[in-house]
Amino acid sequence: MTGVGGGQASRVSVARCDTYAKDSMRSAVEGMLETLGGMGVFVRPGERIALKPNLLLAKPPQAAITTHPLLVEVVAELVREAGGEPVLIESSAAGMPQFHRGMERVLRRTGMREMADRIGLEVDVEGDTRAVSLPEAQLTKRLDLLTSALDADGLISLAKFKTHTFTTFTGAVKNLFGCVPGLTKAGYHAKLSDVDHFADMLLDVHQALRPRLSLMDGVLALEGDGPGTGGTPRELGLLLASADALALDAAACRIAGIPEEAVPVFRRARVRGYQGWASGETEIVLHGLDRLPLEPFRRPKRALDPTGYNTTGRLQRLVRELGKQALTPRPRPSSERCTGCRTCSRACPVGAIRMRDRLAVVADDRCIRCYCCHELCPEAAIDLELSRMGRVAERLGLV
Ligand code: SF4
Ligand code: SF4
């Protein structure tokens, strides 16, 4: 076990774990938790502990889009050994009833159902919600959240190590957006198409749910145009854990070579004055590694550029909107790959997608560039393309 950094900092554990084998995963997770004080610090006997994996799509674990069921299994075992009662929760947009027979299909395809049945893990994906008031929140003063998360005694975020076309990186903080029910998520995309506003909402959700512990599955990670089928799996061989979800994400981005300023959640955390999470402030403890790995990830080709969207004047808003239309990538369903499944048209928060001859067609003037369709398309059939002006600006290094 090797220490890096130090001081009054959040602590992040990083462990080598090359394969999804039970013994190595269990020993890596135990090692990381020992550094954080052991599972007993996070779970008291008799407590109900919600385990929230990333189950974005009904895809198998080798697609690297969802948290591997083995990590959930190991953490559930450790919660039980600490005297707690684990329950798997989720409300994937891809799992809503109108999408391919709902959440059960997501559970089966991701391997979660087999694992949960085998170890007798309770699964609560009913999607019941409750509105909560958040007077302290900076942006969203009222949120609809899963009762399965709100009513649990404690929450553990089990994130996947992935790049993200809209938010650049998705980790333990963004994973909690899954506690916003199903298609309500698309509503937030519609209202908060400004990525910094969206990041503020994510920080509000995080503040409301306050996970006791976060772990990240980076054994097989995802780079490029994630977080869905547009991304590319990458063997990283790492697990991460921390009581501080933001610090965990910052350590992951440090490993992936993603600068802080490229991630909207970190930009907003800075503005809010959050402390103790950034790479220079964090104590990183290594297990099975002699130094923190640096594995530069391919970032999303079409990530939104942070161009200062927080303007309020009418002219500024108009310029921003025109610039956004011209310079940000447009979703383009491929006629060769689109199967006409309608997932995208049902998910689009502003009704910008129509089906024509069983092919998805996007109305650019209505599209707010939230990329829900790109994220949820099960066939990786939605490309993100720049307009001619956007391509010129890209060549000039302006976007
Ligand atoms: S673009 Fe994708 S999500 Fe939309 S209809 Fe075609 S296959 Fe389905
Ligand atoms: S077309 Fe796609 S990117 Fe555009 S608003 Fe609809 S879901 Fe979002």
**Shared-domain flag, residues 270 and 324:** no
SS3 177: helix
pLDDT at 21: 98
Query: Are both 261 and 373 inside the same structural domain?
Result: no
Q: Are 282 and 324 members of one domain? A: no
* CA neighbours closer than 13 Å in the CB half-sphere of residue 101: 7
Q: Is the separation of the CB atoms in 76 and 63 below 8 Å?
A: no
- SS3 state at 233: strand
In a domain, 157, yes or no: yes
Each of the 399 residues of the chain gets a pLDDT tens digit; together they read: 444 433 446 999 999 999 999 999 999 999 999 999 999 999 999 999 999 999 999 999 999 999 999 999 999 999 999 999 999 999 877 655 544 468 899 999 999 999 999 999 999 998 888 988 887 777 777 788 999 999 999 999 999 999 999 899 999 999 999 998 866 777 777 677 788 889 999 999 999 999 999 999 999 999 999 999 999 999 999 999 999 999 999 999 999 999 999 999 999 999 999 999 998 899 999 999 999 999 999 999 755 444 333 333 455 455 556 666 666 788 999 999 999 999 999 988 788 999 999 999 999 988 888 778 888 899 999 998 887 776 776 666 554
CA distance 65 to 110: 9
Q: What is the spatial distance between Cα 265 and Cα 253, in angstroms, rounded to a whole number?
A: 12
C-alpha–C-alpha distance, residues 233 and 62, integer Å: 8
pLDDT at 47: 98
The pLDDT score that the predictor gives to residue 305 is 44
The verdict on 136 and 189 lying in the same domain is yes
Helix (H) or strand (E) holding 393: helix 388-395
- Residue 103 Cα, ligand 1 centroid: separation in angstroms? 19
DSSP for 281-342 reads G-EEEEES-SS----PPPPPTTPPP-------SHHHHHHHHHHHHHHSPEEEE-TTT-----
Helices (H), 223-299: 245-256, 264-272
Which ligand sits nearest to residue 99's alpha carbon? 1
Ligand 2 mean position to 221 CA, how many Å?
25
pLDDT score at 322:
61
Q: Closest Cα to atom 3, ligand 1: which residue?
A: 377
Which residue among 250, 268, 287 closes a domain? 287
CATH code of residue 153: 3.40.50.11440
- Say if 236 falls within a structural domain: yes
Q: Which residues contact 71 (CB under 8 A, 6 or more apart)?
A: 25, 29, 53, 158, 215, 217, 239
Alpha-carbon gap, residue 186 to 177, rounded angstroms = 11
Same domain, 87 and 210: yes
- Is the Cβ atom of 333 under 6 angstroms away from ligand 1? yes
pLDDT value of position 306: 40
Residue 396 · residue 375 · CB < 8 Å = no
Nearest CA to ligand 2 atom 5: 367
Compute the Cα dihedral for 347, 122, 149, 285 and give only its sign.
negative
Q: Last residue of a domain, which of 287, 304, 330?
A: 287
Q: Is residue 302 part of a domain?
A: no
Give the domain extent around 318. 314-395
**pLDDT of 239:** 98
pLDDT reported for residue 94: 63
pLDDT for position 311: 36
**Do 261 and 337 have their domain in common?**
no
Whichever domain contains 334, its CATH number is 3.30.70.20
The position carrying tokens 């974005």 is 56
Q: Is residue 216 part of a domain?
A: yes
Mark whether 276 and 331 lie in a shared domain. Answer: no
Residue with tokens 């990590």: 71
212 and 321 part of one domain: no
Q: What is the pLDDT of residue 259?
A: 95
Q: Is 276 a domain residue?
A: yes
d(CA 71, CA 184): 27
User: How many domains are contained in the chain?
Assistant: 2
Quick one: 283 and 331 in the same domain? no
SS3 content of the chain, % helix, strand, coil (to 5): 35, 25, 40
| Residue 127: predicted pLDDT | 81
- What gap in Å lies between CA 12 and CA 33, rounded to an integer? 10
In a domain, 304, yes or no: no
Testing ligand 1's pocket by substitution, the residue of 332, 345, 355, 377 carrying the most ligand atoms inside 8 A of its CB is 377
Residues 77 and 37 in one domain: yes
Compute the distance from residue 319 Cα to the ligand 2 centre, in Å.
20
Asked if 338 contacts 381 with a C-beta cutoff of 8 angstroms, the reply is yes
Do 347 and 382 lie in one domain? The reply is yes
CA gap 390, 186 in Å, rounded: 26
Q: Is 352 in the pocket of ligand 1 (CB under 6 A)?
A: no
Pair (184, 244) in one structural domain: yes
Cross-strand pairs, 358: none
Give the helix ranges, DSSP H, for 110-211: 112-119, 147-150, 172-175, 184-191, 195-209
Q: How far is the CA of 192 from the centre of ligand 2 (A)?
A: 13
Under 8 Å between Cβ of 88 and 95: no
193, part of any domain: yes
Q: What is the spatial distance between Cα 376 and Cα 30, in angstroms, rounded to a whole number?
A: 34
Strand partners, 286: 2, 14
Q: Is 295 part of a structural domain of the chain?
A: no
Q: Which residues line ligand 2 (CB under 6 A)?
A: 331, 347-348, 350, 352-353, 362, 367-373
